[in-house]
Amino acid sequence: MINIVVSNAEQNFMTNGKLCRIKKMDSNLTQIKAEVYEKSGLKMSDFQTETESKEYGACRFELNGRKIISRNSKITPKKVGQFVTFWKRNKNEPIEPFEENDQIDFYAVNVRTENKFGQFVFPKLVLIKKGIISTKKKEGKRAFRVYPSWDIANNKQAERTQKWQLNYFYEITDSTDFNKVSELYGT
């Protein structure tokens, strides 16, 4: 028998005499699930919040069996683009970049301004190629900037970065391209 108790912060349920807690997803991901994933035929499962990077809405889940790591980006006051973390911690060790052998398929970055909303869907292989995920030959990054379509890059490096990143971006509007979403997630 399963008993569910719902609060604003988490859902608790008893199964086989054990108390289980499922943290709720943040408002960005809740909106994406309802307005994009469900309309694209993408089924979310195995949702788990991460204990660190809570301020970025850090979580993991599966979409149609593909392993997703998700974060919300943040607007910073002095630079164009948005900042997002992308690191892990093994037990009590220092933080480190994700590695090519980590079990992920996509890194989803949710971006929002006052009037705009979108998501980057970066495949693992692209992040390896761009030096964001570590390989045996090169250490990856613990954080990076993303440049949604509405940002105007103000230097050559930002322009180059935005150019490749926009291949993995969709804006969430009344006319979201659900075929592009399905293509980005490889379904």
For residue 167, pLDDT beyond 90: yes
Domain count, the chain: 1
Range of the domain at 56: 45-184
Write the pLDDT tens digit of every residue in 3-51: 333 333 444 444 444 444 456 789 999 999 999 999 999 999 999 999 8
Q: Which pair of tokens denotes residue 174?
A: 């009344």
Which of helix, strand or coil describes residue 181? helix
pLDDT score for 127: 98
**27 falls within a domain:** no
**12 falls within a domain:** no
**15 falls within a domain:** no
**35 falls within a domain:** no
**22 falls within a domain:** no
Residue with tokens 């592009």: 180
For residue 166, pLDDT beyond 90: yes
CATH number at residue 150: 3.40.1350.140
**67 falls within a domain:** yes
Cα separation, 152 vs 137, in Å, equals 33
- Residues 103-112 have a mean pLDDT of 98
**109 falls within a domain:** yes
* Strands, E assignment, 50-105: 59-63, 66-72, 74-75, 82-85, 87-89, 95-97
**37 falls within a domain:** no
